[in-house]
Structure 1
Amino acid sequence: MPAVGGVIAKIRKEPVSNFNMTDQEREMHNRTWRFVTAAHSKDWLFDGAVELQRTRLSSATDFRFTEERYYNWLRNEQYHSSRTRYSTVGRHILADLDTVSSTFASICAVVEVDRQRQIAASGLPAVGTDVRTNMQARKTENDWHIDWFVRALNYRYLSYSYALDHLLVETPHEQSMGVDENLRKLRPWVDRANRHDFCGDGGNGANRGPSFTIPSRYQTMAIDRENIVPK
């Protein structure tokens, strides 16, 4: 599929590199994969479309993903307790938080590889045009993959937020506060991704969590706690 996808990508006039992958690039692809797909949620992240996009058999389709899909999946799951839906959202957010730091670090490493390629090419006049074209194509491929991760992280955050807002109306429970706290911890990573700040403080910040938080949605809306405390 990747070989055929490369041919189709060339037909679409997209850059295609035949460089071997570095270890850093391979690790970045492995770590970002769990963010662009979600097998545990039965295709709410469009696993089939993601595979076509990964192999370049199709151009990027994730621009058309809509944020209500995750909530619809939660609603259709036959849980024994409505509280379990909150637990499910909380676990999914925690899984993202557990892996987002190492994913940022892997992206930072690839950014450095691309920088080193540019330096090497500028200092080696004997390197031919084909190699330089390949280098630029790989840089574009890496940039596109990083942009894909950024869109996926945004989509996850918006999907979780949409689900929490609607669960608060549909089945209000005290577990919502823990989910909201997890979501607040994820937001700074989303902000950093949107700024393409993957390396942080001198390239070491990717291994540390963001040092600030955003206000809770519970600070901006009135909640009658009596209605959500278990009786």
Structure 2
Amino acid sequence: MPRRGRFVLLLAPLWLAACAQEGDFGRPARSAWNGLVDTTGTLAARERGTPSSAFPLTDDEITLRDRAWRFLMPADGRAAFEDALANLTRARVLPPNWRRDDLPSYHEGLISESFRSPFSRYRRLSDDAIADGRLIPPFAALAQRVFEADTLRLRALPLSGSVDGWDVRQAAMRVAENRCLVAWVRLETTLRIARYRYALEHFLIEMPGREAVPAEQALAFLEGRRALLDPLLPPDAAARCGFGEPASQAVLAPPLVAKY
């Protein structure tokens, strides 16, 4: 494809993203617009050389992508444009590492909103952390099921006489896609915990109070559930997928509120 054609291919979804609709629980609605964005994302991923398979998605793979949506979207939800770009990242039109590791963003989003009592800010943090934590076990179980199906897929390759090199490549890319998606979710969950921790640390300075205790407990709950993602992939899976190591990995601090 000519260079100009590839440039148009990559930029077109930026205009289309404004038309992308959302379905239940903030997930992308099934629509012609979102389908077009996803299709273009596959083509753009191929242009970048990242894993992208032409095989149809299984039911579990579709559900895995729907459930990943929660973790790949910005937690603060304060900028529609940022959400649109994140949608394009999910669709692989943009590489996952385009987004800045903006540690203060969640705190800034909460503190900039009008509120009557500091309790509501602590409560919002607690609710968000608990909601994330409750979604991790079903996501981890589903990821494990997808990985088991991938193992079956790879074992079947040498047993099929009609399979050619194209089929082998598509199968390998789908396996890589699935693993990189889970690695991305694991990485983003770690970053989200770091943003929550940053917000709690600053809340304790800005508006100290007993409300910090349940917020700390909610963070501990999320961190415990996040550990369920660790056995799914090697520790360096994110780096293998090209995501790199986020700066926020270094700022994960021990709990500030020790007494429950």
State the TM-score bracket (shorter-chain normalisation). 0.7 to 0.9
Task: Return the offset for 1:177.
Answer: 0.1
Task: Return the offset for 1:49.
Answer: 2.2
Once the two structures are superposed, residues 87-146 of structure 1 have per-residue CA deviations (whole angstroms, 9 ceiling, x without a partner) of 110110111122111111111111111111011113223311111110011111112211
Which of 67, 75, 91 is residue 55 of structure 1 equivalent to? 91
**Structure 1 residues 144-159: aligned runs within 5 Å:** 144-159=180-195
TM-score by length of 2: 0.72
The structure showing larger relative contact order (alpha-carbon pairs under 8 Å, at least 6 residues apart) is 1
Task: Return the offset for 1:55.
Answer: 1.7
Aligned to 1:217: 256
Structure 1 counterpart SS, 2:232: coil
Amino acid of the structure 2 residue aligned with 1:61? N
Aligned to 2:219: 183
Segments of structure 1 that go 5 or more residues without pairing to the other structure are: 199-214, 221-231
Amino acid of the structure 1 residue aligned with 2:200? L
Which of 110, 115, 132 is residue 74 of structure 1 equivalent to? 110
RMSD: 2.3
Aligned residues of 1:121 and 1:132 also touching (Cα < 8 A): yes
Once the two structures are superposed, residues 159-209 of structure 1 have per-residue CA deviations (whole angstroms, 9 ceiling, x without a partner) of 1111001100000110110010111111123334244369xxxxxxxxxxx
Matched, 1:121 2:140: no
Q: Distance in 2 between matches of 1:29 and 1:180?
A: 30
Once the two structures are superposed, residues 37-80 of structure 1 have per-residue CA deviations (whole angstroms, 9 ceiling, x without a partner) of 15773249942222111222111136632211000101101111
After superposition, the Cα gap between the structure-2 partners of 1:20 and 1:95, relative to the gap in structure 1 and judged at 3 Å, is: same
**Structure 1 residues 59-208: aligned runs within 5 Å:** 59-61=95-97, 64-196=100-232
Aligned to 2:73: 37
After superposition, the Cα gap between the structure-2 partners of 1:166 and 1:44, relative to the gap in structure 1 and judged at 3 Å, is: farther
Amino acid of the structure 1 residue aligned with 2:89? Q
Aligned residues of 1:39 and 1:47 also touching (Cα < 8 A): no
Aligned residues of 1:37 and 1:50 also touching (Cα < 8 A): yes
